[in-house]
Structure 1
């Protein structure tokens, strides 16, 4: 995958190895919710196999799918920013195998090692910027009279 939001593309090898020491393997059945918008963000995942849809609650309508994530991509960024509350929801759209990380353990490592913390912050920041752009385009496609335009 060539996305700049993947763990491999965003973290230098030494920081990637350090992060992976905190990983635990987990899996989700198709249709399982990884998290719900507005709830406590206390962990995050990197997808190994399968797909996860990020969705946004739209009052009076069904949730809008913002983006679908796959191999190597970060699922969840809200854990990194106070108040640590999910800004989107996420659901497995196929069977998913992933690496799961305890958010507090990663934040503690970031506090202990500023260089590692900066690398994680740059990675997560790039993901946030990408997701914000994806949300904007998707919502314009769904609800604007002429879609996203094509500026």
Structure 2
């Protein structure tokens, strides 16, 4: 199974093949800014290797790292929702390889093929839900009562 399996294993084989046919290989050098918070979200990636820091702009300070993504992870979901602007920024930690997708092309296929679109949205929703749960857990660990258990 390839490293992008985390996301694509959720998709039916025909949807998976159709999605991967829309992708192309992308390579990034260490410390490359992949996108900036607030900029147009016009693509997304399935990471094959390396790591990417997701960060948030903190006025008057450095960027705060809010998550680290690695092989098998989906990088970018802001392309799904108007106004198609990044909610966070992203920077490679080391060398990164990924399958990249043009967001407009994928949205077009979603519009033309409702079953494909439903599968894509359901898959991305699972990823978003997992990230929200992980963020909640991190926040509870940092700011919850000392000794409180996290479910």
Query: TM-score band (shorter)?
Result: 0.7 to 0.9
**Partner SS, residue 82 of structure 1:** coil
Aligned to 1:17: 17
Find the aligned partners of 1:145 and 1:61 in 2 and give their Cα distance.
Answer: 25
**Offset at 1:150?**
3.2
Find the aligned partners of 1:138 and 1:65 in 2 and give their Cα distance.
Answer: 13
Deviations 1:75-115 (A, max 9, x none): 00000111101111111111001111000000000011111
Aligned to 1:150: 149
Aligned to 1:105: 105
Query: Does 8-17 or 46-55 show the bigger shift?
Result: 8-17
Aligned to 2:65: 65
**Partner SS, residue 98 of structure 2:** strand
Q: Which sections of structure 1, spanning at least 5 residues, go unmatched?
A: none
Deviations 1:3-24 (A, max 9, x none): xx92233222211110011111
- Over 3 Å counting, the alpha-carbon distance change for 1:150 and 1:65 in structure 2 is farther
- Over 3 Å counting, the alpha-carbon distance change for 1:98 and 1:67 in structure 2 is same
Find the aligned partners of 2:40 and 2:98 in 1 and give their Cα distance.
Answer: 20
Q: TM-score, normalised by structure 2?
A: 0.85
Query: Does 12-21 or 59-68 show the bigger shift?
Result: 59-68
The answer to whether the 8 Å contact 1:78/1:87 transfers is yes
The CA RMSD over aligned residues, in Å, is 2.3
The answer to whether the 8 Å contact 1:31/1:91 transfers is yes
- Over 3 Å counting, the alpha-carbon distance change for 1:148 and 1:6 in structure 2 is farther
Q: Which has the higher Rg, Structure 1 or Structure 2?
A: 2
Aligned to 2:83: 83
- Over 3 Å counting, the alpha-carbon distance change for 1:132 and 1:63 in structure 2 is farther
Q: Which sections of structure 2, spanning at least 5 residues, go unmatched?
A: none
